[in-house]
Amino acid sequence: MDATLQATLAQMGTELTALAVKGTATAVSTKVKTIKAERDAEKIKNYYNEIISELIEEREEILRIAQAYRHELEKIEISDEDIEHLHNTIELVIDILSQFIEADGIESLKALKDIVNVDTLKTMQLLGFNYKEAIGIPLTKLCAQAIENLSNKKNITKKNKNR
């Protein structure tokens, strides 16, 4: 886990803890007891409005924190549909790259395709595996190398024709 993610999660945890420690239920209960003793309707209305406003603010803060946690989780979690789409895409990429990559490289890509299935990736995620780094970065490098090799072959061919 990188430092930025750790800092973000720590900050959200601190904010959530502060909300929990705030003791909203106790504070609301105390205010309601105070309201019961009050006889002025306008003051009672103001007290209730204050309670409602505080509860709404806390709810919004809790929702914001929950959404931030969800966002961080979505960065590392993948759905079954995404895995199937990824599997199909890798299959297409292998077909395309097979024209440009040596047999060893294609066999490596085929092995990668076998790894990309729902059961394997879900199990690996549960164990803390970051599939985006482990698969995405090497695949990006492999594609870049294939493109560079293709470009180099074309340049060599052009040079040979010009001689």
DSSP-derived 3-state class of residue 78:
coil
Give the closest residue to 118 by CA, choosing from 139, 87, 90: 87
Residues 6+ apart with CB under 8 A from 142: 97, 101, 105, 108, 109
Judged against a pLDDT cut of 80, whether residue 84 lies above it is answered with: yes
Q: What is the pLDDT of residue 159?
A: 66
Q: Percentage of the chain surpassing pLDDT 90?
A: 0
| Percent of the chain at pLDDT exceeding 70 | 89
pLDDT at 158 over 70: no
Q: Provide Rg for the chain, Cα atoms.
A: 29
Q: How sure is the predictor about 92, in pLDDT bands with cuts at 50, 70 and 90?
A: confident
Q: Where are the domains of the chain?
A: 3-76, 80-162
Which pLDDT belongs to residue 62? 85
Distance between CA atoms of residues 56 and 109, nearest Å: 52
Mean of all residue pLDDT scores within the chain: 79
Kindly report whether the global pTM for this prediction surpasses the value 0.95.
no
CA distance linking residue 67 with residue 73, whole number of Å:
10
What spatial distance separates the first Cα and last Cα of the chain, rounded to whole Å? Answer: 54
With cut-offs at 50, 70 and 90, classify the pLDDT of residue 86. Answer: confident
Which of 24, 15, 27 has its CA nearest to residue 62? 15
- CB neighbour class for 121 (10 Å; exposed up to 12, middle 13-18, buried from 19): buried
DSSP one-letter code for 147? H
List, for residues 20-53, the tens digit of each pLDDT value. Answer: 777 677 777 777 887 888 788 888 888 889 888 8
Tokens of 140: 């990006």
- Average pLDDT for residues 81-100, to the nearest whole number? 81
- The pLDDT of residue 101: 74
- pLDDT of 1 strictly over 60: no
Which two structure tokens, joined as six digits, stand for 81?
A: 């549909």
Residue 112 has a pLDDT of 72
124-150 pLDDT, tens digit per residue, is: 878 877 767 777 788 888 889 888 888
